[in-house]
Amino acid sequence: MLKYSRQRESIQNFLANRYDHPTAETVYQNIREEFPNISLGTVYRNLNLLAEIGEIQKISTGAGPDRFDGNMHPHYHFICNHCGCVMDLSVSGLEHINILASQNFGGAVEGHVAYFYGKCPTCAEDKISLPHTQKTS
Amino acid sequence: MLKYSRQRESIQNFLANRYDHPTAETVYQNIREEFPNISLGTVYRNLNLLAEIGEIQKISTGAGPDRFDGNMHPHYHFICNHCGCVMDLSVSGLEHINILASQNFGGAVEGHVAYFYGKCPTCAEDKISLPHTQKTS
DNA sequence: CTGCATGCAAAAACTTTGCACCGCC
DNA sequence: GGCGGTGCAAAGTTTTTGCATGCAG
């Protein structure tokens, strides 16, 4: 019932080789090099589809457009308050937090997402307030 | 420099007495009973303002519009995959996770947000797949 | 062939903003 | 009064969708 499409494969490949959590627009601009006629609608449709079937991850930062991550290994995300960049973050010792959250809760906790905020390494080092990154492009 | 406004006070009071994390639209509909001429723009302006000064919290669920929470005591949120409702969740034992996240990270972790997903108590109980809540209204 | 996927464009959903007027301080 | 807040409406941003056509199975 899920039919192969070159566009979807290309999108998934693209994400698998990026570590900067691009937006749909960024994916679109890049995939356009291979498929000049692809439409933004198709990019959104495939991004949502891939996220639903667990091949990629959708990241809602709470500011600006959603971002997408092709890395499905368990990890967290850090969002810089200063420059807006999104970085991967390995945090060990959080394997049990669904169980912690289940305590005194009548429902079923099946998963969680967590975002860490602060200053990224580059911004923490800078004395001057110059955003070193605004958006991926 | 921050001037008092009856509209803002009303919005803050409204949120302080709700525990269902309403959307801007819901806030608007309710505040309209007291201020029939208030505009949605004003609601958004005040919600953003209150969130910036730390009087309320903005919740980006990743699906649908942002929600707002007047409860500033430390707590987490649970989002039901089934009916979409948002509930408060007390999780103890997570006080140290910013420190855990800082390990092997060159920047400065200043805070975090976490959302737990699964089936809320009502949906977990139901055998039938009937959403008991769609949106707050 | 059959039906899901695509391209295109229009529209929907959500949020922000410009401007003239209003009301705190 | 002066300046921030408001109401209104228009515009901005991000995402979804209807429809005719294209391509995988």
The predicted-structure confidence for B94-103, as pLDDT tens digits, reads as follows 889 999 999 9
Its CATH class, for the domain covering B1-73, is mainly alpha
How far apart are the C-alpha atoms of B70 and B24, rounded to whole Å? 13
- For residue B130, the model assigns a pLDDT of 46
Separation between the CA of A37 and the C1’ of C5 (whole angstroms) = 14
Cβ contact, residue pair A117, B117, below 8 Å: no
- The answer, as to whether pTM is greater than 0.85, is yes
- For residue A72, the model assigns a pLDDT of 94
CATH of domain B74-137: 3.30.1490.190
Cβ contact, residue pair A80, B107, below 8 Å: yes
**Confidence band of B126 (pLDDT split at 50, 70, 90):** low
- For residue A84, the model assigns a pLDDT of 81
Matching fold, domains B1-73 and B74-137: no
Residues 91-110 of B with CB under 8 A from A: 91-94, 97-98, 100-101, 103-110
What are the extents of the domains in chain B? Answer: 1-73, 74-137
Q: Taking 90 as the threshold, does the pLDDT of residue A61 lie above it?
A: no
- For residue B92, the model assigns a pLDDT of 87
Q: Strand order in A108-119's β-sheet?
A: A86-89, A76-80, A108-119, B108-119, B76-80, B86-89
DSSP state string for B20-59: S--BHHHHHHHHHHH-TT--HHHHHHHHHHHHHTTSSEEE
Of A30-44, A113-127, B39-53, B101-115, where does mean pLDDT reach its minimum?
A113-127
